[in-house]
Structure 1
Amino acid sequence: MNIFLVGGALRDHLLGRPVSDHDWLVVGATPEEMVRRGYLPVGRDFPVFLHPRTREEYALARTERKSAPGYRGFTVHASPDVTLEQDLARRDLTVNAIALPAERVSADGRFDPTPDALADPFHGQRDLRDKVLRHVTDAFREDPVRILRVARFAARFDDFTVAPETLALMREMVAAGEADALVAERVWQELSRGLMETRPSRMFDVLRACGALAVLLPEVDRLWGVPQRAEHHPEIDAGVHLMMVLDTSARLAASLAVRFACLMHDLGKGTTPADVLPRHPDHEQRSVALLQQVCERWRVPVDVRELAEVVAREHGHIHGSGALDAVGLVRLLERCDAFRKPARFAEVLLACECDSRGRLGFEHTPYPQRPRLLAVLAAATGVATDVVARAAQQAGATGPKIGEAIHRARVDAVAATGAVGAVRAP
């Protein structure tokens, strides 16, 4: 029985990046032997065990054979006769197919491998030096999730390129319908992780280059080639603008929900045929309808979806909020549910700032709407609504009339800040 450190820990160490966890490969063992040694079996689809002390994952060496389309369409063979090289051959990328004997790793997880100590049959070290993402063998095509993984790695290692032969293989997989067979949970898992990488636009560049974006997110894919116009901004391709907005969200260290909202906020500017989605009177409502389709398809978490819906519906009004009086500002806050969810509203404003700054020459332009609307919200939430409600009840108000009294008090509080124009009657 031989144990090797494999995968991301070695890759990141060789790149000079922090190592967050360790993946271990066991060659020459059976599941029964692992259990006898105290390892806890946890793998459902193939034999994976937790170390009795460290709780790190140890997987038995295995091979895989394609047996049907899709993510689960392969047969796993794990036995003591599977060699290290055979296991490395079924991995996705050469940079992830490097191994180091466990005896070269200290008890506290530290290691400093020399080139001669590494098992590197597929030249992953060379591709790390050349900054290339290259598939290991034709076994890559057995798992369509690898299309998404390559795209995600391109977003993480944004100075790497995808090898031409790997991109060609990904195109073949898409043409063969493999991307259509992806399950929602895995698509969202990879997309969400890619959105949180250093340069998320590269994930979509790769997905678009291999044809997978048109399959997985046609609503986004259709934005390329559509002119994007905005007041005080030069015209830009809507798809290019979207990617700049997304990268701006990464530069500002935005949350996943904000980054997803940035990706989804302008879907209504695409060219969806009317028989797929009826025309809406404005692109904001159309964007919301398309966003809802995407969220249903890929089972996007509710909190992420709801923030994206607010941004898609209200970003134009937030951009133009400088022209609103106190009444308009309070109504905007109410539509955004800002009084109940102020933290979410702050994230909505951050997404709108990313949208405004997502253009060449405007990357560092201030976005005054964000601090101004936060100040407006602070003034409006300073109203003692319980006091206003009691006074309205004492004056004989009931039901909606009490809500109207609270609304008027908030408008007066915003108007008193002096940051808006004259107050019009609601």
Structure 2
Amino acid sequence: MTIYEVGGAVRDRLLGLPVTERDWVVVGATPEAMQAEGYRPVGRTFPVFLHPDTGEEYALARTERKVAPGYHGFTFHADPEVTLEADLSRRDLTINAMARSPEGEIIDPYNGQADLHARRLHHVSEAFREDPVRILRLARFAARFAPLGFRVAEDTLALCQEMVATGEVDALVPERVWQETAKALMAPAPSAFIRVLRDTGALAVLFPEVDRLFGVPQPVKHHPEIDSGEHVLLALDQAAGLDADLATRFSVLVHDLGKGITPAEELPRHRGHEARGVPLTEGLCERLRVPSDTRDLACAVTRYHLDCHRVRELRPETLLGLLNGMDAFRRPERVDGFLTACEADYRGRLGLEHRPYPQADYLREALRRCQAIEARPFVEQGLKGPAVGEAIEKARLAELARLQPSD
């Protein structure tokens, strides 16, 4: 029995990055031998065990064989005779197919170190084509390592395009697409995830609403980058720079979906794209089974981001409608994510990445003033039922009118 550290821990250590979790492969062992050493079996499909002290995962060296379409269509073979090189050969990228021996030696049968040095994301073998999840993982690693200069190798890109053309991506289940997307959106350069998916052709299959934005023009006065898709990518990276959470970053991804269905004769203007985009955002969230809190914020940002940009110009009735529409009184914790998404959108424009966003403070002040209005004084006046709600709304409108700029 020989135990090797494998995968991301080896890669990250060579890159000088912090190692947050470690995986291990055990060569020359049987399940019975692992349990005799105190390891606890947890794997359903193939033998995986938890270390009795650290809780880290230890997997028996294994090979796999494709027997059906999609990423579930594999059989696995774990045996003491399976070599480390054979186990590493089934991995997706060369930079993930390295191991470290107990003595500290790097075992690198597929030139992962050379690809690390070249900043290249390259598949290990033709077996890459057997699992469509690997396209999502490739795009996710691009989003993680783009700031270090990593790019997808041309032949790996071509292989992914072939996989899309043969329908492999069609077999992906919504939960796995969302899982990989969520991880990628939280990476340092989430735009790279979308760009790689688009380059492979997978974006049109998995996110057709987003793919449709590319090539759609916007007024150059407001969007020097012109292209609607490019604007979304700029805004996504702004959201990452603002350290936004997942729900906020996803909201930025989908906030302009309505521009993809603007009638051609109206271009480059997009009047009403906010309302048009809401059903598209809802449909995408339903298809990918996006968590409800994330969906609700995404729909609010889609519908009201333009109102937020011009908040100082809004009539009190419209401003109150904005606060009610984002459910700010019942869900005040949603406001920060909403404002961060709007700021990322506002600054996600070529050459305008660093402009301030005073609208956020204005909207927070509007909410604070409205929240200070309580029901008790109106109840003490003898009002009941709907009359109390009407009085609160009237008082909020008066307060918002006082907030409006005098100029």
TM-score (norm 1): 0.90
| Residue 267 of structure 2: aligned partner | none
What is the distance in 1 between the residues matched to 2:371 and 2:262? 41
**Contact 1:98–1:124 (CA under 8 A) maintained in structure 2:** yes
Matched residue SS, 2:49: strand
1:59-79 CA-to-partner distances (Å, cap 9, x unmatched) read 110001110110101111111
1:215 aligns with 2:205: yes
Shift of 1:260: 0.2
Shift of 1:38: 1.0
Aligned residue-pair number? 400
Shift of 1:412: 2.8
Q: Given the superposition, is the C-alpha separation of residues 335 and 179 from structure 1 closer, same or farther in structure 2, using an over 3 Å criterion?
A: same
| Residue 61 of structure 2: aligned partner | 61
Matched residue SS, 1:228: coil
Q: Given the superposition, is the C-alpha separation of residues 86 and 242 from structure 1 closer, same or farther in structure 2, using an over 3 Å criterion?
A: same
What is the distance in 1 between the residues matched to 2:94 and 2:123? 6
Shift of 1:365: 0.5
What is the distance in 2 between the residues matched to 1:87 and 1:403? 66
Shift of 1:230: 7.4
| Residue 293 of structure 1: aligned partner | 283
| Residue 110 of structure 1: aligned partner | none
5+ residue gaps, structure 1: 105-112, 275-279
| Residue 258 of structure 2: aligned partner | 268
Match runs of 1:62-81 below 5 Å: 62-81=62-81
What is the distance in 1 between the residues matched to 2:271 and 2:355? 31
1:42-89 CA-to-partner distances (Å, cap 9, x unmatched) read 112221110011100001100011101101011111111100000000
5+ residue gaps, structure 2: 265-269
343, 348, 362: which one aligns with 1:358: 348
Matched residue SS, 1:405: helix
**Contact 2:375–2:388 (CA under 8 A) maintained in structure 1:** no
**Contact 1:219–1:272 (CA under 8 A) maintained in structure 2:** no
Match runs of 1:302-341 below 5 Å: 302-341=292-331
What is the distance in 2 between the residues matched to 1:121 and 1:135? 13
**Contact 1:257–1:303 (CA under 8 A) maintained in structure 2:** yes
Matched residue SS, 1:410: helix
TM-score (norm 2): 0.94
Shift of 1:344: 0.4
1:410 aligns with 2:396: yes
What is the distance in 2 between the residues matched to 1:285 and 1:344? 20
| Residue 14 of structure 1: aligned partner | 14
Identity of counterpart residues, as a percentage? Answer: 57
1:256 aligns with 2:281: no
1:334-353 CA-to-partner distances (Å, cap 9, x unmatched) read 12211111120121111111
Matched residue SS, 2:19: coil
1:315-340 CA-to-partner distances (Å, cap 9, x unmatched) read 11111211123333223211221111
| Residue 376 of structure 2: aligned partner | 387
1:132-174 CA-to-partner distances (Å, cap 9, x unmatched) read 0111111111211000000000000001011111111111111
Equivalent AA in structure 1 for residue 48 of structure 2 = V
| Residue 232 of structure 2: aligned partner | 242
| Residue 372 of structure 1: aligned partner | 362
Equivalent AA in structure 2 for residue 386 of structure 1 = A
Shift of 1:229: 2.7
Shift of 1:11: 0.4
Tell which deviates more after alignment, 328-337 or 21-30.
Answer: 328-337
Match runs of 1:14-163 below 5 Å: 14-101=14-101, 103-104=102-103, 113=104, 117-158=105-146, 159-163=149-153
**Contact 1:219–1:290 (CA under 8 A) maintained in structure 2:** yes
1:384-412 CA-to-partner distances (Å, cap 9, x unmatched) read x13234135x1xx3332211101122223
